[in-house]
Amino acid sequence: MSSTFKISVTKMDFGVSEELTGKVYDTVIIGGGPAGMSAAIYAARYGMSTIIITEEVGGQVAKAGWVENYLGYTRIMGPDLVTKFEEHVKYYNVPIIIDSVENVERDGDLFKIYTLNGDEYTARTVILTVGEKKRKLNVPGEDTYNGRGVSYCAPCDAPLFKGKVVAVVGGGDSAASAALLLTEYASKVYIIHRRNQLRAQKYYQDLLLKNPKIEIIWNTVVKELQGDKLLRKAVLQRVDTKEIFELPLDGLFVEIGAEPPVDLFKRIGLELSQDGYIKVNHLMETSIPGIYAAGGLR
């Protein structure tokens, strides 16, 4: 492979140079998760000029705990896997712009991509790989204690709760993975789940049930979060009996699934499924010719 590819990724947090905004790209990739990075690699290998615009490198994988089902790695932390992805993209000299895309509009035969930082990019085609964003509980106190006990990223914040009592809200794979990671730091880990059985795969369920630090609180939802300067407790309610009770906590990790950025899709004018995902055909073409979508599809 030509050595011209072996230069570092351009990553910019505050605006970009005219060198990047003042040209027409063959494709602009919106989203920097696994799908976006894969698309960038293939575009570069085909000699297409391309950039990635993303709010964060790695997407949801960057927030994952131990990843144990990715081919080639028996066990690797999500952020470490993202580093490997980024190194691969770096090899092909694809710039990664840290920014948020606000809209995409057709301009003749081209597309204009507008970002939160006020920059404008021009492309012949666009690939949307924006994935999903984590859902919030939307209960009183959640925003108040966000970053002061409430977290949406166990790998990021687990070390801050060494010897503490924490809880994970959710019942799927992400909740199970977060709970297992937290046992490496916290003294006690509760799982708060609204149903009487978990949705996580059996592999995770077996590990959860074997771990003495983990206790599952079934048929229960979070109604409110309370504390002083930091989170101190969660107000919970039984789904079946409607009983209200309190759970003293130092930390709460929210893992209740994710949802697509529907507002962005609607601004662009894409045809969506009933649950807000982009409709594509077998070629990954959207309802707008020239705009493609990949990753996080249903």
Selected catalytic residue, list 119, 153, 173, 250: 153
* Residue 143: active-site member: no
* Residue 80: active-site member: no
CB atoms closer than 10 angstroms to residue 259: 13
Q: What's the token pair of residue 226?
A: 């309370």
Cα–Cα distance between 11 and 61 in angstroms, integer?
Answer: 18
Give the closest residue to 142 by CA, choosing from 130, 151, 133.
151
Cα–Cα distance between 251 and 11 in angstroms, integer?
Answer: 32
Give the closest residue to 267 by CA, choosing from 138, 135, 130.
130
Q: What's the token pair of residue 10?
A: 């351009």
* Residue 157: active-site member: yes
Residues 6 or more apart in contact with residue 239 via CB below 8 angstroms: 194, 195, 219, 220, 221
Selected catalytic residue, list 99, 157, 173, 250: 157
Selected catalytic residue, list 80, 109, 119, 156: 156
Burial call 31-65: b when 16+ CB within 10 Å, e when fewer: bbbbbbbbbbbebbeeeeebbbbbbebbbbbbbbb
| Residues in a beta bridge with 254 | 169
Give the closest residue to 176 by CA, choosing from 62, 58, 65, 59.
65
Catalytic residue IDs: 153, 156-157
